[in-house]
Amino acid sequence: MNTPGLPAPKLPTPLHLFATLLVTICTVETLVHFYMSSVIPDSQKAIQGITDALLLVFIIAPFVWLRIARPMRTVAMAEISRTKAVLGSVVEAVICFNDGGTIESLNPAAEKMFRFHPREILG
């Protein structure tokens, strides 16, 4: 959770994320190909291909989570917290609608003004 006054966490640039992902995939793929023939004989190419794909996915997935998904989730959660804090402290009624005109959220001032509980008015 962010403390007031501190800037939101920054994400790496898309180019940096892309380069990191490519280097990681290339490194893992090189290692898998280097050691694959010592584990599975060359006569079983189909099994080598499946094993290669599975190893690549299972080895790369944690890196993708750590370097891309987790930082994006952290930034998104910080923005959600900030938005909730701002909407909670605004003294005027704020009602958020989606493209179809359905009410998605309202702040405490709107609850008091319209005397509705959010679950009664949302949707």
- pLDDT attached to residue 117: 80
- pLDDT attached to residue 2: 47
Task: Using alpha carbons, select from 100, 104, 95 the residue that is nearest to residue 123.
Answer: 104
Mean pLDDT to the nearest integer, 104-118: 85
Rounded to 10 degrees, the C-alpha dihedral 111/117/118/120 comes to: -130
User: Distance (Å, rounded) from C-alpha 14 to C-alpha 26?
Assistant: 18
pLDDT digits (tens, 9 = 90+) for 8-49: 567 678 788 788 888 888 888 888 878 877 777 777 778 878
Mean pLDDT to the nearest integer, 59-69: 83
- pLDDT attached to residue 50: 83
User: Is the per-residue pLDDT at 5 higher than 60?
Assistant: no
Please tell me the pTM assigned to this model: 0.54
- pLDDT attached to residue 20: 83
- Number of CB atoms found within 10 A of residue 17's CB: 16
Q: What would you measure as the largest C-alpha separation in the chain, in angstroms?
A: 75
User: Is the per-residue pLDDT at 4 higher than 70?
Assistant: no
User: Is the per-residue pLDDT at 6 higher than 80?
Assistant: no
Mean pLDDT over each residue of the chain, to the nearest integer: 81
- pLDDT attached to residue 58: 85
Break the chain into its structural domains and give their ranges. Answer: 11-84, 90-123
Tell me which of 119 and 77 has the higher pLDDT: 77
CA 4 to chain centre: 23
